[in-house]
Structure 1
């Protein structure tokens, strides 16, 4: 991700320049990627193996990722620490297949970028270069195409798939050259029987491609059939030949070439209610050597999803075994069909669940991949293990391969006496902890090593930060679902954590979570949602600058019926305003209440900030002068928009209907707001472009929207924006944004990014509408002198290079020390209200 700051700078009422954006912590620790990684597939070129899978780390749908693995090294080496992005097209990509030409790889998958389901491929070189990141369409016919399989015939790849362009499922194929050309763009109709043909698998036998599939021509349960396909794509066995016609159901075949024959294995339910693994050998001429099939794995548990590879001497069959909630087992089979390992041996031991195996022979070991759920984790990841020729699993705990730089999420920021403090949640130590760094107003990250703010152990997430008189207070929720507490720690100006064991802000029975914090300039008020009364209420507590919790039992802000959730809090220097999303009558509205600096709730009945039709949620607030501006995400128009309302210091809601801030197409939510000394700056997540970007608006204290702008619209998503106001009008915007490869470092995960506005004075040329004036003002020693002859009744403004107003000027001396050096423009309005503009330079 790269943050685009120009539009944001244009929205500030201060001098600005686009000096770029920065990742607050470029340091990297790799761990299994978040969300699910599923459906592993693999092939080997003997130097390394390419493992591909469907990956949900982006959060919106699944993409195709992969990594290269060297199994010949002493302990196995993952070459691509954060994975290779093979396809990140729109919508969903899943069910990959992989083959190798002996040097490079071809990956195929089912692709829903056009919604219906198509077949795409991508070439990946042995050195990890993804040659076709947009994908090569192999079949975009009507209907659904899925379940691809690939074999290389020495010249071209043959890609086959299950195809629903006609009535029922058929098997189609297409040849793809090594340079990525699709030789059969309309597809080759290989099998179009009126019954269903599904789950194809292929291997090359030195002369032809051996194709096997599941077929329902004889019964709705399905049998296993096979056929040969020559190098021209011609089906040599027009109707196919039966491999298994056993009673009940057979499906999910896999095939591997041996010496003089191939071995086909499949799921088989001939023996009762559970599935077993059976196999049969077939010759290069299509002769079935084991017409009744032979049992590879049978037990009282389910065995399913078999895969197979040949190591030059014997086959290794692997499968998912339902014993102990799911594990990967394997068994060797000799070329004469003798099953060597009965009842099979355990390959995966590192997770609470393991299944969906894939296998390839790398010239030394049989490399087995699978997806598993590791202890203490909720998501599936991909792991591998090597198996030697004697059937020993060399890596029984598995080697994680679907990795990424650890994710950084849910940032917040506060400004101290001299610097910003940016905090976030990150799972670099196995559980989520709270980290932070200090950032100067010039955008320099002070802390070369991130500061761990929360104590070790436990799960800490959802941080919030505010600055008081001498220190900042960072708060977070800690613990597991329904057992979470609100904790915190102070951080001083030097980045030193003063409360290394943490401060327990609220540890009442049941759950306290989603904390927010604000400061009156000395002490702090922490608000949270609280389950102590068997539904969520809003509570708060004051914390002194010395770290003492002044309200140990918590102060009940709202305990109405229904749930009150997602609090927000702001302070005007006299009182705090606590906001929340209120579900009292089944719909979600925005309510609030003022809390005094002494911890007294001033509005015991609550303030109805917005009770419009539809849902209002995710409130945020900032104080300007003595009042407040509240913003939220609003469903009154059938999709989420951004609305706001002003609330006076005495608790009067001035905009009971709400002020429309943004009603663009798509969804807008998660707003943040800050006051820059003149206007309010609002930034939010925005889906008008399909992906989640950040947009913003500048709003006056009177509630007028001056402009809206695109703050961040880069590739990948940007979420959870936060704003913090620093000295001299500096504004920091931070967010969690998708990050690929930066400075040759792979991340492939969300990271915390920030940008500052304003920067140094801009060198951009002024807009074309600005015309040069004949009389220029002058700047001497931080004072701008406007000619005394100027009419004091005619407005005169200083503009930045984007044409935005910086400050109002009056005849005589004007103090410009608050402006950073750069080029500015002075605009006068004549009696006819025609703008006359002259250029001025503020030097260092």
Structure 2
């Protein structure tokens, strides 16, 4: 019996949720229920010596550890017991002070290298989290509300340093596609695609924000903006309706001429950039027809702006690429039927083996709640179908830990963006409550 299935027994709650002694476990559902693997959104980060991956499954967050070469250290996901505010929320993750900072819409959590939650504080955000980035001394968190960008500085232990401050507005409502953030020796940098053009704005490690500077760059047709710092200059890349374009920007704001990154004849979307020691990699996705996507990359010598030949990295990567590195190991991760990864040797740009599953996909079954009655326990959970409808189901379990119902009991439907089901017992009856699709 696999430990990563939701299980129950006639013992304490830890055993009922499948984290207790293996000898006492019993399967609640014939389908994988509350499996800590394979969410719809994911992120990867490095603390300088190892990697941590985090993904969302329904309203729950799970983590997995990888060593400095990107090898999995955990056979199954580690439940973080940190609830999302809505289904399929994208987690933000960054290394900070040897630990990790996890940012969600309503909370910021400090995780150690073993994915233990050391601290959790309320987010108090004015909008949707966009980015979390660390300069080693602090953490910058950026959020959006409509087209406005807000930033806040945290200490590496997740303690707030500053309050939320507005730094500007992007061209339209697609904020996550028109804002990019980097860090250099002078602090943090924000690049925004605004009505006035591409702007550059500095944010110090003490929270001081400089006025925005409009860069002499034509960003007509910009569809998505990404950036990275190679040690001397920022490379700023954006997608267009044709091939992507890029400019190089020094920390003091000197800008190179824009240059084209030839990616081929197919439409391409820039998903990420990694830069170090004067060399950059630009990762982009190409639609090969229908639902077939390929993740490819090009190497750029930043000093000469010479672009290498594109090469294929992995298949089935349409979006949500996350990049982290430890020394010369560059780890990429993306969601597709789970959370997947690929490790590149950065000096040679050669993949170190095939793409591999970091976490296998599970059914969108989440948030189990358990209540004990006179002679029976009731387990209630939610499932999200392909139409994004939350179906609430239950199963009775006797004191020996044996399911009394051959198949789960269908209780009703609800809104996946509202309250997950919960169950309580009293007066000889079980009471189940969940968020409804109507008020």
Q: Same fold (TM over 0.5)?
A: yes
Match of 1:402 among 314, 317, 324: 314
Cα deviation for residue 132 of structure 1 reads 3.0
Partners of 1:365 and 1:340 in 2: CA distance: 16
Equivalent-residue separation in structure 1 for 2:87 and 2:213 (angstroms)? 32
Q: Choose which of 146, 152, 155 in structure 2 pairs with 1:227.
A: 152
Please say if 1:390 is aligned against 2:306: no
Aligned partners of 1:212 and 1:254 also within 8 Å = no
Q: What is the DSSP-based 3-state SS (H/G/I as helix, E as strand, rest coil) of the residue aligned with 1:97?
A: strand
Deviations 1:338-389 (A, max 9, x none): 2223xx2222423511114211224452122121124x78611111111112
Task: Quote the Cα distance in structure 2 between the aligned partners of 1:373 and 1:297.
Answer: 28
1:378 and 1:310 mapped to 2: Cα distance?
33
- Structure-2 separation of matches of 1:246 and 1:356: 18
Whether the 8 Å contact between 2:247 and 2:255 is mirrored in structure 1 is yes
Question: Where do residues 188-587 of structure 1 align in structure 2 (5 Å cutoff)?
Answer: 188-193=121-126, 197-215=127-145, 221-238=146-163, 240-245=164-169, 251-252=175-176, 253-268=179-194, 270-271=195-196, 277-289=198-210, 291-295=211-215, 297-301=217-221, 303-322=222-241, 324=242, 327-341=243-257, 344-363=258-277, 365-374=279-288, 379-390=292-303, 392-396=305-309, 398-403=310-315
Aligned residue for 2:302, secondary structure, equals coil
Deviations 1:200-235 (A, max 9, x none): 2122123211222213xxxxx421121110122111
Measured against aligned partners, the alpha-carbon deviations of 1:607-628 in whole angstroms (never above 9, x if no partner) come to: xxxxxxxxxxxxxxxxxxxxxx
Contact 2:92 2:102 in 1 (8 A): yes
| SS in structure 2 of the partner of residue 350 of structure 1 | coil
CA distance 1:226–1:296, change in 2 (3 Å): farther
1:328–1:370 contact (8 Å) kept in structure 2:
no
Using structure 1 for the length normalisation, give the TM-score.
0.31
Q: 1:351 to 1:129 in 2, by over 3 A?
A: farther
In structure 2, the CA distance between the partners of 1:199 and 1:206, relative to structure 1 (3 Å rule), is: same
Aligned equivalents of 1:132, 1:351: Cα separation in 2? 41
What is the alpha-carbon root mean square deviation over aligned residues? 3.0
Is 1:147 the equivalent of 2:90? yes
Tell me the SS of whatever aligns to 1:281: strand
Q: Is the Cα contact below 8 Å between 2:129 and 2:141 reproduced in 1?
A: no
Q: Contact 1:387–1:394 (CA<8 Å) still a contact in 2?
A: yes
Alignment CA distance shift 1:88-1:145 (3 Å): closer
| Cα deviation, residue 192, structure 1 | 3.8
TM-score (norm 2): 0.57
In structure 2, the residue matched to 1:178 is 113
C-alpha distance 155-320 of structure 1, shift in aligned 2 (>3 A)? same
CA shift for structure 1 position 190:
2.3
Relative contact order higher in (CA < 8 Å, ≥ 6 apart): 2
Q: 1:305 to 1:247 in 2, by over 3 A?
A: closer
Task: Give the superposition deviation at 1:400.
Answer: 0.9
Q: How many equivalent pairs are there?
A: 282
Distance, in Å, in 1 between the alignment partners of 2:203 and 2:78 is 33
Question: Equivalents in 2 of 1:88, 1:372: separation in Å?
Answer: 30
Q: 1:345 to 1:378 in 2, by over 3 A?
A: farther
Instruction: Say if 2:44 is the partner of 1:98.
Output: yes
What is the CA–CA distance in structure 2 between the aligned matches of 1:309 and 1:126, rounded to whole Å?
A: 21
Once residues 280 and 157 of structure 1 are traced to their aligned partners in structure 2, the CA distance between those partners, rounded to angstroms, is 26
Q: How does 1:68-83 map to 2 (within 5 A)?
A: none
Please say which structure displays the higher CA radius of gyration.
1
What is the alpha-carbon distance in structure 2 between the residues aligned to residue 202 and residue 278 of structure 1? 20
Distance between the aligned counterparts of 1:307 and 1:97, measured in 2? 16
- Following TM superposition, by how much is the alpha carbon of 1:146 offset from its aligned partner in structure 2, in angstroms? 2.0
> Are 1:204 and 1:210, in contact at CA under 8 Å, matched by a contact in 2?
yes
The CA deviation at 1:334 is: 1.1
Q: What SS does structure 2 have at the residue aligned with 1:183?
A: strand
Find the partner of 1:130 among 69, 72, 83: 72
The 1:282–1:387 alpha-carbon spacing in structure 2 relative to 1, beyond 3 Å, is same
Contact 1:119–1:146 (Cα < 8 Å) also in 2? no
Change in CA separation of 1:121 and 1:363 when aligned onto 2, cut-off 3 Å = farther
Equivalent-residue separation in structure 2 for 1:127 and 1:388 (angstroms): 25
- Asked whether the 8 Å contact 1:227–1:286 carries over to 2, the reply is yes
Q: How many angstroms does 1:299 deviate by? A: 4.0
Q: Cα 1:246–1:386, aligned 2, differ >3 Å: closer, same or farther?
A: closer
- Show structure 1 runs of 4+ deviating over 6 A: none
Q: Distance in 1 between matches of 2:168 and 2:204?
A: 15
Q: 1:147 to 1:294 in 2, by over 3 A?
A: farther
